[in-house]
Chain A
Amino acid sequence: MNAVPVTSGERTRHDTPGADTALASLLESLLAIALAIAIAGLILIIAGHDPLNVFSQLVDRTLLRSAGLEEVLVRTTPLLLAGLAVLIAAKAGLWNIGVDGQVLVGAIAAAVVGAWLVDASRPVLWAGAMLAAIVGGAVWTIVPALLRAFWEINEIVTTIMFNYIAISMTAWLVKGPLRDQTLVAPQTPLIPPELRFVGLGDTRVHIGLVFAVAIWIAASFWLHRSVAGLEVRAVGESPRAARHAMIPVTVVLAVALVASGGLAGVVGGNDVLSTKGTFQAEWYPGYGLSAFALVFLARRHVLALLPAALFLGMLAYGADVMPRAAGIHSAFFALFEGILLIVLAAFRWRPWRRKSGGHR
């Protein structure tokens, strides 16, 4: 069949770890980061930069300044949600590589509904826009989901194709029927700052972070404490066994992918309702690949998603400030995330794990 297993033969008891394997996972993640830093540092040296300066500047600007810390938290919110989206799909054994497209569709839906609700009260506007975002992202995933569930057409390819279609479609929409005619550059009508997500206290951090954390907690419970979550994980571990257990595999697969898309849509809604206030024609945040780095840094454990998201949020903000601070082009951080992913992927071979199960 066309499915590419997410687990690829890995023993599944690592998904719900006991205390010792949780500690081992954490150490592995840290080791992976350390290795990635070492390799990246080497590249910096070859390129003629001083890695110590670069990394110390990075930590200083992102974590040691209050403005930096606030920005990191702002960046963490969409990443946490995007990672959650990828993880939900991964738990069902599916690869959702179309997060970027789903974010775009969710964002434009939220922007339009939000602008339409501008006369309503703030909670109504938020609820309406976020609902639109979920629906937008979910709708965008329906075709790949059905193709995968019923006709076993690989979702990797279909979700990627839908990314490209999303870019063209949202561009056409925002330049044409959904455009704010009073402004010259194409964007949807603006949601005024006072109606967007409120800031927490005096900081730049906004309530979206609270929503994201709440969703994350809810998702964790759903995944590990509900029947539906159990079914999703069962299908992910072994579709054949799940079928034997009378679980409707096709339905679960379709629902999981659509749910994943809906979550990705929420990312778009979050960005529109917090920092952007509108959907602009040339906006492409590209959370998709970072979301994968996130999920695998968290060793596919839902509880580890938050710290992993914080780390990647730090890298995301770092990429913005490092060009000025240390003369390093922001593309370097994409390189770093890529190296991290490669190291994490290679960490399947863990000789220190031989005793706790698994055939290797």
Chain B
Amino acid sequence: MSVEAIATALIAAAILTSMPLMLAAVGEAIAERAGLLNLGIEGSMLCAGFASFWLTLKTDSVTLGLLIGAAVGLAIGLVFGTLATVLNANQVVLGLGVTLAGTGGTAFLFREVYGSDQPLLSGGPGRPFEGWFDWLPVIGPAIGDQRWFVFVAWFMVLAGHLFLVRTPSGLQLRAAGESPFGLEAVGGNVTMVRIGAAAIGGVFYGFGGAALAVVELGFFSPGSTAGAGFLAVALAMLGRLSPLRVALFTLAFGLLTGLDIGLQIAGVDARPEFLRMLPYAGIVIGLVALGRGVRMPRALGQAYGGISSRR
């Protein structure tokens, strides 16, 4: 097989596998902009993935599956946002709780519903642009032959970015994270804005988890997110909470992850465990190189108790 074809295949794989991660990371970036640190993405993605898998299996419709995944993500996001703002819940603990509950819960439910079986989805969403970009060497087919949801995901990322930087609501959202007192002083409602941000983030995680199950994998199994939720937090930070930058870093991460497979195929004799360390070490190095002195929203992770609580 030609080097070109293998390269195309690896790039295509990287694009596909980074897509759910991209959605989760961008969702987290948006939520963090409003001051919410959500470590429960892993749990949300698993719940959304399970729900979407279940519904797609029942109805044979990937679209319905994706939608219910987004709905589940939205619901969990709302719960998280409400608890974090109205009840001033400790966000880190809340997030870890959601992750633990989501991981255990989906594993438990999966066994309850499917027992010893591992059903597989056949088909999957179509590829509407197949062959359109073949004129562009190597990268062209890798992009063009993707399933339609990949393009939807990219559109969502772009929309998220434009929302944050171009719309008044986006400005309010950023203010809620940067200067909540300032927002309240001009008449905004920090609580509602944050809950809204959590909801938007939830929709992103929901789509991400659903896409992982019904678009990328074609099935759901307990633990299939494999740490994607935590990686999303890392990538959001690396991209300094800007949706476009986050998306770029996610793609780079996807390529780096595919590198270990590519090297193995090429017959490079490095032990696979070494190669598997690379993406994670890469993130740490990236944080050192790019993350120093980066200003996160001043109110990240802090509960907001109203102007009267200012110390």
A interface with B by C-beta (< 8 Å)? 1-2, 4-6, 8-10, 43, 47-48, 95, 97, 143, 147, 151-154, 156-158, 160-162, 164-165, 168-169, 171-172, 175-176, 289, 292-293, 296, 328-329, 331-349, 359-360
Contact = CB atoms under 8 A, between A and B. Distances in A.
A289 B99 contact: yes
Contacts of B308: 359
Q: Which 8 A-B pairs have the closest CB atoms?
A: A338-B101, A334-B104, A341-B97, A338-B100, A335-B104, A331-B107, A4-B301, A172-B273
Given A4-B301, A335-B104, A158 B284 contact: yes
Given A334-B104, A338-B101, A165 B303 contact: no
A249 B144 CA distance: 53
B219 to A, nearest CB: 18
B274 A360 contact: no
B273 A161 contact: no
A329 B93 contact: no
A168 B104 contact: no
B101 A147 contact: no
- Which of A1, A47, A164 is most buried by chain B, counting CB atoms within 10 A of its CB? A164
B271 A339 contact: no
A333 to B, nearest CB: 7
Interface in B277-303: 277, 280-281, 283-284, 287-288, 291-296, 300-303
B6 interface: no
B280 A165 contact: yes
Q: At the interface, is chain A mostly helix, strand, loop or mixed?
A: helix
B51 to A, nearest CB: 15
B88 interface: yes
B117 to A, nearest CB: 15
B216 to A, nearest CB: 20
A168 B111 contact: no
A342 B293 contact: no
A335 B309 contact: no
B190 interface: no
Given A47-B108, A153-B291, A335-B104, 6 more contacts: A9-B309, A151-B293, A157-B237, A160-B230, A168-B274, A342-B101
A348 B104 contact: no
B234 A161 contact: yes
Contacts of A336: 104
Contacts of B280: 161-162, 164-165, 168
Given A175-B273, A332-B108, A345-B83, A9 B302 contact: yes
B291 A2 contact: yes
Nearest to B308: A359
Contacts of A171: 273
Given A153-B292, A168-B276, A348-B88, A9 B93 contact: no
A143 B288 CA distance: 10
A81 to B, nearest CB: 19
A162 B230 CA distance: 12
Contacts of B94: 341-342, 345-346
Interface residues of B, number: 58
Contacts, number: 185
A113 B271 CA distance: 25
A335 B92 contact: no
Interface in B97-143: 97-105, 107-109, 111-112
A47 B112 contact: yes
B296 A2 contact: yes
B98 A342 contact: yes
A339 B39 CA distance: 15
B233 interface: yes
A338 B309 contact: no
Contacts of A162: 280, 284
Given A335-B101, A341-B97, A4 B89 contact: no
A2 B240 CA distance: 11
A152 B93 CA distance: 21
Contacts of B86: 349
Nearest to A319: B104
Nearest to A332: B108
A328 B273 CA distance: 35
Given A8-B91, A346-B87, A348-B89, A334 B100 contact: yes
Contacts of B258: none
Nearest to A329: B111
A345 B90 contact: yes
B227 interface: yes
Contacts of B96: 97, 289, 292, 341
Contacts of B271: 172, 175-176
Given A161-B234, A346-B89, A9 B305 contact: yes
Given A161-B234, A342-B97, A4 B37 contact: yes
Nearest to B105: A335
Interface in B46-103: 83, 86-94, 96-103
A331 B111 contact: yes
25 contacts: A1-B295, A2-B296, A4-B300, A8-B301, A8-B303, A9-B303, A10-B90, A147-B288, A151-B292, A153-B287, A156-B92, A157-B287, A160-B233, A161-B284, A171-B273, A172-B273, A293-B97, A329-B112, A331-B111, A332-B104, A335-B105, A335-B108, A338-B98, A338-B103, A345-B93
A43 B91 CA distance: 24
B93 A292 contact: yes
A31 B89 CA distance: 16
A143 B271 CA distance: 24
B24 to A, nearest CB: 14
A345 B97 contact: yes
B97 A47 contact: no
B222 interface: yes
